[in-house]
Amino acid sequence: MRYPLLNSSLPGRLALAGLAVLAAACAPLPPQAPASQAKLQAQAPEAAPTPTACPKAVASIARCLSGQDSAGAYYLIALPNQWNGHLVLHAHGGPALGVPKLERSVEDLERWAIMVKAGYAWAGSTFRQGGVEVRAAAEDTERLRQIFVSQVAQPQRTILHGQSWGASVAARGAERFTTTADGKRPYDAVLLTSGVLAGGSRSYDFRTDLRVVYQYLCGNHPRPTEAAYPLNIGLPADAHMAQADLQARVNECLGLDKPQAERTPDQQRKVKLITDVVRIPASSIHSHMNWATFHYRDVVQHRTGGASPFGNQGVRYSGSGDAAADAVLNAGVLRYRADPAAVARFAQDTDPTGRIPVPVLTVKGVNDPTAFVELDSVFKATMDKAGTSGHLVQTFTQHSGHSYLSDPTYPTLVAALLRWVDDGTQPTPASIASQCPAFEAAFGKGCAFLPDYRPAALNTRVPDRERP
């Protein structure tokens, strides 16, 4: 089935045929068909998706399809009535814990409706399982691409889009799935937005720091009357605690459910110490404590054989206000050594190698409270080490959000990626910043690119520690 292009007057509309190959700086790596991709391709044909109601955000401009793949993941597809021929394949953030539900993909499409409004088909998987398992999620994303190609339409270009934790899913997927059965690239380019891109072995260090500093100050997670356990396991496997229970404990100690002026002086002191030492805003303490509790338990119990890959041995904490106070803090916090085998196992699943054979664009708000901007310096070093630095362009914006930046930001980046793929014009942060305002006419205000920004090294924000 063929679909018409969007009106060519929209900003950055790209020609779709007879275009040149990538520039030499972005020449693809030699194609290799990983065994994992061959296994996916050898599976029995997937059932066809069925028509379903579109979320309200795109109901008037698209038709939607949904289904459940052979591994158990639910998925949702949106096809614009005026399709430009390209597919954005979405890997969502989180990850959620518990049994996957189709509602997750509905929420993702509602958040990323801008892709459909800009004329791109959109497809997103819930992944087959909840929890922190990157490679499995990448396999589910690739399986969805194959369903789209075999059951829906053949896109002219496929952009793999990873958001937040999903950026690590997309990065790992782009490394693993590099060639289809007919020798083509499954993904033409990769867009990584607000990404957690330093791998599991480094991205979560600050959450371990949060747990030990919080416990030093508050002493209620666990309480003295409860069985002690190593904080770097998150929570014992048999512990009964819900997010609401944890939130109540945090509020009990820090008063985060109150305006700052209504907190006691002791609560204000503790909040300030956490924000100064761990370098996160008070508004994100709850979410990071959730991750350092429930997601850590998922990792330890289900991904690393019961041992923890998280540690803070050798960390020198600072920010208390003076050297004496820092010394007291460092003497008082609990210390944990990461298990070497657990680190290796977790890194194998979550750490990017950088061997991505197609163009990669990243974007991040410099004040992102969830995925620190300094993580991007690690990802650049990873691509440099892999010899693929010519495939990477990093951009940064003035935004302080994490889950979504602004409507014109994303069509600007996808258009730049397609231009890079189709005619070899590698973008620069400056060229992307200059192109964004043209998209505001169609999608509203919101351009905030900082073309001269370069992130500092990760250890300027998260202290170094001993590693196995």
Decide if 336 is inside a domain: yes
**Cis amide bond preceding 28, omega within 30:** no
Q: 175 and 218, same structural domain?
A: no
Mean pLDDT of the 196-210 span = 97
**What's the pLDDT score for residue 79?**
98
Q: 305 and 268, same structural domain?
A: yes
Decide if 399 is inside a domain: yes
Decide if 8 is inside a domain: no
Q: Given a cut of 70, is residue 251 above it in pLDDT?
A: yes
Mean pLDDT of the 231-253 span = 97
Mean pLDDT of the 402-423 span = 98
Q: Given a cut of 80, is residue 12 above it in pLDDT?
A: no
**DSSP string of 162-219?**
EETHHHHHHHHHHHH----TTS--S-SEEEEES---S-HHHHTHHHHHHHHHHHHHH-
Buried b (16+ CB within 10 A) or exposed e, 198-233: bbbbbbbbbbbbbbbbbbbbbebbbeeeeeeeebbb
Containing structural domain, residue 399: 24-199+353-460
Q: Tell me if residue 304 falls in helix, strand or coil.
A: coil
Q: Given a cut of 70, is residue 248 above it in pLDDT?
A: yes
Provide the whole-model pTM: 0.91
Read off the pLDDT band of 21 (50, 70, 90).
Answer: very low
Q: In 291-405, which ranges are continuous DSSP H helix?
A: 296-302, 323-332, 340-350, 375-386
Mean pLDDT of the 119-124 span = 98
Is 177 within 8 Å of 103 (Cβ atoms)?
no
Per-residue pLDDT of 369-405, as tens digits, reads 999 999 999 999 999 999 999 999 999 999 999 999 9
Alpha-carbon gap, residue 387 to 209, rounded angstroms: 33
Is 425 within 8 Å of 19 (Cβ atoms)?
no
What pairs with residue 78 in β-bridges? 64, 122
Distance of alpha carbon 221 from the chain centroid: 28
**What's the pLDDT score for residue 16?**
33
**What's the pLDDT score for residue 5?**
29
Tell me how many domains the chain contains.
2
Residue carrying structure tokens 């942060």: 429
**What's the pLDDT score for residue 286?**
98
Q: 149 and 241, same structural domain?
A: no
Read off the pLDDT band of 36 (50, 70, 90).
Answer: low
Alpha-carbon gap, residue 86 to 416, rounded angstroms: 14
Alpha-carbon gap, residue 468 to 122, rounded angstroms: 41
Decide if 6 is inside a domain: no
Q: Given a cut of 60, is residue 41 above it in pLDDT?
A: no
Residues with Cβ < 8 Å from 448, sequence gap 6 or more?
A: 397, 398, 399, 405, 406, 409
Mean pLDDT of the 118-146 span = 97
Read off the pLDDT band of 3 (50, 70, 90).
Answer: very low
Decide if 11 is inside a domain: no
Determine the angle formed by the axes of helices 429-443 and 409-423, rounding to 10 degrees: 120
Decide if 450 is inside a domain: yes
Q: Which of 285, 316, 347 is the last residue of a domain?
A: 347
User: Quick one: which H or E segment has residue 287?
Assistant: helix 285-290
Alpha-carbon gap, residue 141 to 105, rounded angstroms: 12
Q: 382 and 236, same structural domain?
A: no
Q: In 204-279, which ranges are continuous DSSP H helix?
A: 205-218, 243-254, 265-278
Is 326 within 8 Å of 222 (Cβ atoms)?
no
**What's the pLDDT score for residue 52?**
98
Per-residue pLDDT of 276-313, as tens digits, reads 999 999 999 999 999 999 999 999 999 999 999 999 99
Q: 295 and 373, same structural domain?
A: no
Decide if 119 is inside a domain: yes
Mean pLDDT of the 205-221 span = 98
**What's the pLDDT score for residue 86?**
98
Alpha-carbon gap, residue 97 to 42, rounded angstroms: 29
Q: Tell me if residue 154 falls in helix, strand or coil.
A: coil
Mean pLDDT of the 6-12 span = 35
The two tokens of residue 413 are 């980046």
Buried b (16+ CB within 10 A) or exposed e, 155-189: bbbbbbbbbbbbbbbbbbbbbbbbbbeeeebbbbb
Per-residue pLDDT of 448-458, as tens digits, reads 999 999 999 99
Alpha-carbon gap, residue 387 to 385, rounded angstroms: 5
Alpha-carbon gap, residue 379 to 363, rounded angstroms: 12
What rounded mean pLDDT belongs to the chain?
A: 92
Is 114 within 8 Å of 410 (Cβ atoms)?
yes
Q: 57 and 30, same structural domain?
A: yes
Q: Residue 438 maps to which CATH number?
A: 3.40.50.1820
Q: Which of 347, 366, 387 is the last residue of a domain?
A: 347
Per-residue pLDDT of 321-378, as tens digits, reads 889 999 999 999 999 999 999 999 999 999 999 999 999 999 999 999 999 999 999 9
Mean pLDDT of the 150-161 span = 97
Q: 154 and 55, same structural domain?
A: yes
Decide if 337 is inside a domain: yes
Read off the pLDDT band of 15 (50, 70, 90).
Answer: very low
Q: 148 and 178, same structural domain?
A: yes
Q: 182 and 43, same structural domain?
A: yes
**What's the pLDDT score for residue 321?**
85
Q: 205 and 260, same structural domain?
A: yes
Q: 418 and 369, same structural domain?
A: yes
* Sheet containing 157-163: order of strands: 50-52, 62-68, 74-80, 121-125, 86-91, 157-163, 189-193, 360-365, 392-397
Q: Which of 296, 314, 347 is the last residue of a domain?
A: 347
Is 319 within 8 Å of 273 (Cβ atoms)?
yes
Q: 176 and 248, same structural domain?
A: no
Per-residue pLDDT of 266-275, as tens digits, reads 999 999 999 9
**What's the pLDDT score for residue 327?**
97
Q: Given a cut of 70, is residue 22 above it in pLDDT?
A: no
Residue carrying structure tokens 């620069």: 428
**What's the pLDDT score for residue 156?**
98
Alpha-carbon gap, residue 263 to 257, rounded angstroms: 9
